[in-house]
A and B are shown apart, each in its own frame.
Chain A
């Protein structure tokens, strides 16, 4: 019989976290929908005379160009790279990863299923503006499986380093949490704050949540799969795993929470069929003649009646004159480009830090995970590689691309050589799948901190964990105001929830609304 943590110990713990009554009082009423769940209606005044310079071809820039072009503005997009899309980047046969000092060309089989979303990969269902453009531009979507109960959890400290199934971990953890909470429900402090019927409902929910027995004890669950049988024969329950053993895994939080921050999306998200850059090319194909590639911006001068942007192409410096400028060049790169922005604007630009992120992927010789009953989802590894993702598409096909590392803090990968990165992902991966090394063909890696023309992942505004300081809020407002009514900073860098495509698109909509209002109020 397991009696992992005594009730007293648990109550002491609750006390340390401020008790439960605080939780009961602090809630707000249910029933409101976040505003982002509605896609924006863009109604720009049709206008043919105005010229707009758009710097970079991130999703915010492409959104801007698309909307303005539809309204009849004359747009020119300047892009430093050979490709559009910035952080929406898909690697497939022939793609070049121009990481500085670590140039790689992808030599995977030429097959539409074999791709790696090296930047953005997942679309939550409430990111209505991303979805709106997918619909408008006919980008086909499919389900992305963010959680699989048959995927693995691995920590060298747990189970002798052998992986356990997600469901073994999560069903047991749910059982233990429910058992402990139902014991605590007998406590006077919690009792007095709940009515009898509330307690009853809570208890019955806990029983189902944890799969507890009549006595509200967790004695194992068939949700973790059967020990034996299950179809022709009766299924038998697996032995109960000791809570103490599960508590050795230090990455349990990631296993238990699959919902992305602020998205309410849970285990199911979406992805474009064929790669995230299908969205980028849906825009770029329609704007094709307006985009100049390999045209890095080298100076931005805001004038009284417009903007002058210098850029380089084929070794020659050209100047683009426009009435307005929309700029999604990452702030930390803009700091190295001469400009005449006001001091407070430059200070705010220089303040934003660049986040790190690292991903790696390989082409698998065979879909070995399917033989382990895994079809999509994430394996959690307590090592810097952190995650292994299995492709949810092309089930039972020949090969598949496995995401072999995703570290959103970047760890030490930025400085590592390609050889060391590959050895690192194989070494940790084979703790989960014994035949991993043999299955892995041509690994590709990407450290966003070193990606040419990006040099970072999520822009980081707040320096303190506690949230945004007043000064930061103020700088943010400064950057949201166009310089001289002419230069708009766009991209997820000018939003308060970075690292989402939705934020980048909304930043464009915000700036477009401001422009539209200015244009409308101009004397005819």
Chain B
């Protein structure tokens, strides 16, 4: 059990600044997911929490105690590496029990905990195998097992599922969610995959180029992104960003169409309009805000993605629920859900 506090945490390698001014409080038992594009510093932040990377600025506290200089072995945190990092010369049981072995736990206790973890993860029949004789998914489970036998105060995951195929990923995701419910431990989870982020997280932290962009619940980020970056990063397919001009009692799309959105004060600083594909609708001609031509239609079964080109406005992606009978080359009339669209300022901030 641990409450983790990051106060003005910074990291630089020589003159290269990788993380700046990270402030975050993680409550005991909370599931936090770190997301962001490649190279934004997610792994670095996680490794600083684990103690594998020196912290070059700010203070890191666990339950109110400063931990900056505490070596990894005394931080009581378990980590699951993206590469799994199983000890190749030890069998599955010893891999999972290694931390107990190092801490000189009683033999019976050790075997009991290993057996428990193996049962939870469906590895009971594999305990005598070496890692090289396991499949990718099984290795992943062993890596998880190594973390759970310890009963640590916090779990750290660095893209633990990124090497698995899609089906296994979904299964392991549920496994991790179940694990969190059962253990109720603090978990910090790094991923690129926004489905993982949205389904697992109590709160999501969006990082970009070393800065925290926004911290919030999945729904917060979806409905109230604090800026254009978050708006485009969360949600799939990506939000449409349309250029606008200011007008008397609304904003004008580049083709001149007037949309009545935002308060007057917001409109005065508005620079772009963001609308998610699911908040655009194909409608009859007289109700349309935009008239375009479908360039590509993707039939996904549950949804239909219509990539349209609207003269004067540019490419627009519309998502229709279910199967929508439309073919490439046909005309589409698109209506904007004005309630659910966002205005962004020149710097990308949401108004």
The yes or no verdict on A and B being binding partners is: no
List A residues at the B interface (Cβ < 8 Å): none
